[in-house]
Amino acid sequence: MSDFLRSYLTVGIFLGVAVVLVSALLGLSSLLRPSKPTPQKSIVYESGVDPVGTGWAQSQIRYYIFALLFVVFDVEAVFIFPWATRLEAYGLFGLIEMGIFIFILFLSLVYAWRKGVLRWV
């Protein structure tokens, strides 16, 4: 076994210990504990209150669309901040690149606006 793989041995041992420990504890507790199932015990746990209604709920589609628009600006921020900290190092090339990037993202905003996404219906 190479040194490279040997350094992963710790991970393997950790994994083995985790599996053995968890299965030993769970197995022990299932041997020792009493088992008295009731219908009350198998309903969904909701902080001790009986659940109301079903688990399926609809949410407004506009939240989804706003989430998508948020991603646009989120991605923009993710790339602009590291670039801004090293502004000088990338020089004119970086400026033009970032300009193109922001322009493309700006176009997506224009697209969303023209398609009427920004109106709160």
Partner 1 sequence: MSLLASLAAQAAQPVTSVLVETPSVDWWGLLPLILLAAPAMVLLHASSLLRRVFRGFYATASVGIAGTAAAFAIVQWFRVTDLDGGRGPYTTVASAYTVDGYSVFITVVLCVAVIVSSLVADGYLRREGLDGAETYALLLLSASGGVVMASANDLIVLFLGLEVLSIPVYVLAASHLRRSASQEAGFKYFILGAFASAFFLYGIALVYGATGSTNLGTIRQTLQDDPFVDGGALLLAGAAFLLVGFGFKVAAVPFHAWTPDVYQGAPSPVVSYMASGVKAAGFAGLVRVFDVTLAGQVRDWQPIVVGLAVLTLLGGSVLAVAQTDVKRMLAYSSISHAGFLLVGVAVASPEGAAAVLFYLAAYGLMIGGTFAVVTAVAGPGEQATGIDAFRGLGRRQPMLALGFTVLLFAQTGVPLTSGFFAKFGVIKAAVDGGWYWLAAVAMLSAVVGAFVYLRLVVAMFMVEDIDPHHGDGDVVAATPAPVAMPAALTLALAATVMATLVVGFLPGLLTDLAGDAVPVVLATLP
Report if residue 93 touches partner 1, rule: CB under 8 A.
Answer: yes
Q: Do the beta carbons of residue 76 and residue 102 sit within 8 Å?
A: yes
Q: Does 115 bind partner 1 (CB under 8 A)?
A: yes
DSSP lists the bridge partners of residue 74 as none
Q: Does 104 bind partner 1 (CB under 8 A)?
A: yes
CB of 54 to partner 1, least distance (A): 21
Does position 2 bind partner 1 by CB under 8 A? yes
Q: How far is the CB of 119 from partner 1 (least distance, A)?
A: 14
Q: Residue length, the chain?
A: 121
Asked if 3 interacts with partner 1 (CB under 8 A), we say yes
Smallest gap, in angstroms, from Cβ of residue 101 to partner 1? Answer: 13
Task: Rule CB under 8 A: say whether 62 interacts with partner 1.
Answer: no
SS3 54: coil
**Phi and psi (nearest 5°) for 47?**
55, 35
- Binding residues for partner 1, rule: CB under 8 A, are 2-5, 86, 88-91, 93-94, 104, 107, 110-111, 114-115
